[in-house]
Amino acid sequence: MSFQTTKFAAAAVAAITVFATLPAHAGKTLDAIKARGQVICGVHTGLAGFSAADSNGKWAGIDVDMCRAVAAATLGDAEKVKYVPLTAQARFTALQSGEIDMLSRNTTFTLTRDASLGLSQTAVVYYDGQGFMVPVKSKIKNAKQLKGQTVCVQSGTTTEKNLTDFSKANGLNIKPVVFEKLDAVEGAYFSGRCVSYTTDASGLASVRNKSAKNPADHLILPELISKEPLGPLVRRGDDEWAAIVKWTIFGLLEAEENGITQANVDELKANSKDPVVGRILGSTEDTGKLLGLDKEWMANAVKATGNYGEIFERNVGPKSALQLPRGLNNLWNKGGIQYAPPIR
């Protein structure tokens, strides 16, 4: 290699190194959020454990906590969120039109949604699958016994198509009873208009806990008929904002993996000698500048919501009202498939 070639290569490497450490441009969505002092987040109209408001109008759930974590990372305050409850039919239009900054509404990632709606998927918050709920008195024990039966389902969801595919593939001739609104689906099922109700298994647990007169009278069948990776979406065209939402979720997972909790975040930020912890919390390296954020962006998020495991346990875990097992949503090194790229 000639001297000139060597010199050119060295200069190129130096340029790349400098470029890689430059602060990121904030992006138009973050600029708008900072100007208004608020993240506008699209959520479910009411799905316990994921996004639901109490009698005082206070929102809670896994999807709500993702909104709060993003607000804490971007604005330093998890309370600076405006929640916009959206139906399944209205959710994508609200994001496309700019009515909301992010859609955090138990929404399944699919090729069609990623490639044709002008939206970008971020990171999976909850790995789910579609199931069936039946009255215990029906004596139905598995999904194949639904042959020729009526099944309540909500329109405008992946659930409706999955039900049709499952019925055709297994020759079951299931008769869908379709409703636009969730409360209409629930009402039809609990009034006996349908033999079964189908949606994501987590949603079935939420509905059973919230709406059934006696939850023990309803059985969620063991089969899952689909993959339903749920997570927030943002508008396509603002890569900086997409990166912020995505890496906030990754950071919550990284925090859990490295033992950073809501209770110890300040102590670790001040005293930890672990370089990984230092990078996550901004005490040794400023990763925030790569996203156009403050160096304590992730520390602020964890302090506001806890790590991913704490969020899961509080909202849907075995000790919550929904009593859902961690399952696939456990960390990769604890038998699950939640795996975040490293913050470095």
Summarised one tens digit per residue, pLDDT across range 50-70 is 999 999 999 999 999 999 999
Cα dist from 323 to 99, 218, 220, 315, 320, whole Å: 34, 15, 13, 9, 5
The mean pLDDT of 183-187, rounded to a whole number, is 95
**Same-domain check for residues 73 and 114:** yes
CB-based contact 289:295 (threshold 8 Å):
yes
* pLDDT value at residue 264: 98
**Same-domain check for residues 162 and 290:** no
Domain final residue pick, 211, 226, 241: 226
Interval 14-42: pLDDT, tens:
444 444 455 556 689 999 999 999 999 99
167: CATH: 3.40.190.10
**Same-domain check for residues 329 and 248:** yes
**Same-domain check for residues 240 and 328:** yes
* pLDDT value at residue 51: 97
* pLDDT value at residue 108: 95
The mean pLDDT of 73-94, rounded to a whole number, is 97
pLDDT band at 5 (very low <50, low <70, confident <90, very high): very low
**Same-domain check for residues 42 and 95:** yes
pLDDT band at 156 (very low <50, low <70, confident <90, very high): confident
Q: Would you say residue 10 has pLDDT above 60?
A: no
**Same-domain check for residues 239 and 113:** yes
Instruction: State how far the Cα of 5 lies from the Cα of 16, in Å rounded to an integer.
Output: 17
Question: Within a domain: residue 53?
Answer: yes
* pLDDT value at residue 15: 43
* pLDDT value at residue 22: 52
The mean pLDDT of 148-170, rounded to a whole number, is 96
pLDDT band at 12 (very low <50, low <70, confident <90, very high): very low
Task: Output the average pLDDT for the chain.
Answer: 93
Cα dist from 33 to 68, 70, 173, 224, 251, whole Å: 13, 11, 49, 39, 21
Domain final residue pick, 178, 199, 226: 226
**Same-domain check for residues 142 and 100:** no
**Same-domain check for residues 181 and 261:** no
**Same-domain check for residues 87 and 155:** no
**Same-domain check for residues 46 and 65:** yes
Question: Within a domain: residue 198?
Answer: yes
The parent domain of residue 42 ranges over 28-127+230-334
The mean pLDDT of 63-81, rounded to a whole number, is 98
Domain final residue pick, 226, 259, 292: 226
Question: Within a domain: residue 2?
Answer: no
Question: Within a domain: residue 251?
Answer: yes
Share of the chain above pLDDT 70, in %: 92
Q: Would you say residue 303 has pLDDT above 80?
A: yes
**Same-domain check for residues 122 and 234:** yes
